[in-house]
A and B are shown apart, each in its own frame.
Chain A
Amino acid sequence: MKCHECRDLLSPYLDNMTSDDENKRITVHLTACHSCYREMQEMKLMLEGIGILKGDIALPAGYTDELHERLLEHKTSLWGKRQAMPAARPGSWIAASIAALALGAGIWMSSFVPYAQVADVLQKAVPAVFDRSHQQVKPEIEKIIADKTKEMQNEQGKQSGSQATPSTPQQVAVVDTTNPQSKSGPAATENPQKPAVTAPAVKVETPKVVPVVAMKVNVENLDTAISLLKNQGESENTTIAVANNDIHTLAAGRERVVSIQVPETQVDEWTNLLDNLGNATSPSSRTEDVTKTYYSLSDEIASLQQQLAAPSVTNSDQLKAQLIEFQKQLQAIKDRLKLVTITVTLHEEVAP
């Protein structure tokens, strides 16, 4: 090995990044070459010197708070518009409603109009209403359907008896059997007095959103902090839910999430209290969408009530117990909707 080769490999050699073969050749060369040996010793000394700068530097006071503020500012500029709307994702609500209505209307109207016609009507209507809130959209879509129904009834009236719109077998299968005009054959003459068309009932779910204030507090002792919060909750008759298990964080320490439900007027008081528990991040606001849970519970309750009302009910005790449980859960959600939920992550540092 020549000197320049050895010197090119000195750093990787000191960092154990050279191969076995290179190591052997370097060692042999260093034993024989005083100059390269001296080079290596100087480099080692220098690395020891630089080593003085090793190690992480403590974050300056207020660093995480400042970062939090800056993140929130960015968030507002990035997602602020969407957050300001009532539901977590109002666009999807409107789109889903329109899709549901389109589907309902499409199936229903398919008995006497081609799909393309329905699609055309809805397509024209959608852009005009898409930017508005769910509640504003609902009556407009209903009106569109009602108008179109009327229009089509008139057309069907003119054509009845002579030209029934051809339908596919699937379309026939979903035709309202109470509608004599929607199909040809004997039923068309059986009940001629019945109303021609009944618009299908479309269930509209109002978004149910819980305001949430989230914060994180680094505490000295997790258990002490939790019992302190529980005591405070008891004295103020406030609902406090503590997660059953600790979260073992990637960094040293353990965490527990505590959920506190308070009236809006008491939010400041509680966040101040949490702030005093330890080193706390600034609270951030968000929303939690509970619409799905709310309506699935409501549906279950309605279905259970129906089952209980049926004369042939056999397992009424079981159904009643289930009904009470669901009613309790629904009430809990209703209570949450009236209050603000403070979600605090308590973090306890554990020495490694």
Chain B
Amino acid sequence: MILRVEMPVGTGSLHIRGGGRSIDEQELLKKARSGDVLAFEQLVAKYQQKVYSLAFRYMGNEEDASDMSQEALLKSYKSLRNFKGDSSFGTWLYRITTNVCLDELRRRKRRNQHFSILSIDEPVATSDGEEVEKEIADTAPLQDTIIDRKEFSEYISKLLDQMKPEYRTVIILRDIMDFTYEEIAQILDCSIGTVKSRINRARNILKKKMVGQGGF
């Protein structure tokens, strides 16, 4: 008789990498899909700091970043069955995080519409129908007043906050989070061509503002 004594979670598991996803990750995925919280926590352990950092870049503060990143992780826990393995598990998590954050920002924008929050890159129509870029009062610190790293970070974050979500997203994903064009295409579910042109457009908008304000 072959006696198979059931072992506790995690004991005796193999950790062989192969096919892009390790056996351990597959095993954890299987357990997590059946509701095993501990397995899910082990599964996301190596991604959660990046998930949090990504949420922080979108939301701009610790409290919102904490809330949104956890919301994204909970959402992924609930919809693990929908993860088909077409992309890496991490990319799938970052995609959910991006969507959760952008949804929240859109929701807030709708809620605060009466405050007329402006987007720096959104053109406005003049009386003769021509679209021109908005002139926004410069609230960012000027070059000679930017004295330290922290202030400069805040200055860039502030400019990013004022950008349209689609441009802000690609700057965050590419220039801050260092994702490749392929990964960004997977996260945003679009073609690499779209990613290329969107990154270029976003950088040009940001550069224009920085040059105009003497950001460098």
Contact = CB atoms under 8 A, between A and B. Distances in A.
- B partners with A: yes
Interface of A: 7-12, 15, 17, 42-43, 45-47, 49-60, 63-64, 66-68, 70-72, 74-75, 78-79, 212, 214, 216, 243, 245, 247-251, 255, 257, 259, 281, 284, 286, 288-290, 292-293, 296-297, 300, 329, 341, 343, 345
Interface stretch (B95-103, B120-128, B132-140, B151-159): B151-159
A242 B12 CA distance: 11
Contacts of A11: 196, 199-200, 203
Interface residues of B, number: 63
B206 A46 contact: yes
A53 B24 CA distance: 33
B176 A50 contact: yes
Contacts of A74: 74, 77-78
Contacts, number: 171
Given A49-B216, A70-B74, A245 B196 contact: no
B8 A247 contact: no
Given A52-B149, A70-B74, A257-B8, A297 B3 contact: yes
Closest 7 CB pairs of A and B: A11-B200, A343-B8, A79-B35, A251-B46, A57-B53, A50-B175, A56-B53
A12 B53 CA distance: 25
A67 B204 CA distance: 38
B73 interface: yes
Contacts of A53: 57, 153, 156-157, 176
Contact of A289 (B5, B6, B45, B73): B6
A66 B181 contact: no
A281 B78 contact: no
5 contacts: A49-B215, A52-B152, A56-B50, A67-B48, A79-B35
Contacts of B152: 49, 52
Contacts of B153: 52-53
A288 B24 CA distance: 20
Contacts of A60: 62, 66
B37 A68 contact: yes
Interface in B158-216: 171, 174-178, 181, 196-197, 199-200, 203-204, 206-207, 210-211, 215-216
Contact of B37 (A46, A49, A66, A284): A284
Q: Residue among A11, A216, A255 with the most chain B CB within 10 A?
A: A11
Given A50-B171, A293-B5, A67 B196 contact: no
A11 to B, nearest CB: 4
Nearest to B210: A46
Interface of B: 1, 3-6, 8-13, 15, 22, 24-25, 35-38, 40-42, 45-46, 48-50, 52-53, 56-57, 62, 65-66, 70, 73-74, 77-78, 149, 152-153, 156-157, 171, 174-178, 181, 196-197, 199-200, 203-204, 206-207, 210-211, 215-216
A329 B3 contact: yes
A341 B156 CA distance: 52
B97 to A, nearest CB: 13
B46 to A, nearest CB: 4
A45 B216 contact: yes
Nearest to B73: A67
Contacts of A251: 45-46
Contacts of B65: 57
Q: Residue among A45, A53, A72 with the most chain B CB within 10 A?
A: A53
Contact of B9 (A12, A71, A214): A214
A290 B8 CA distance: 11
Nearest to A303: B1
Contacts of B50: 56
Contacts of A292: 6
Given A70-B70, A78-B35, A56 B203 contact: no
Contacts of B197: 8
B4 A293 contact: yes
Contacts of B57: 53
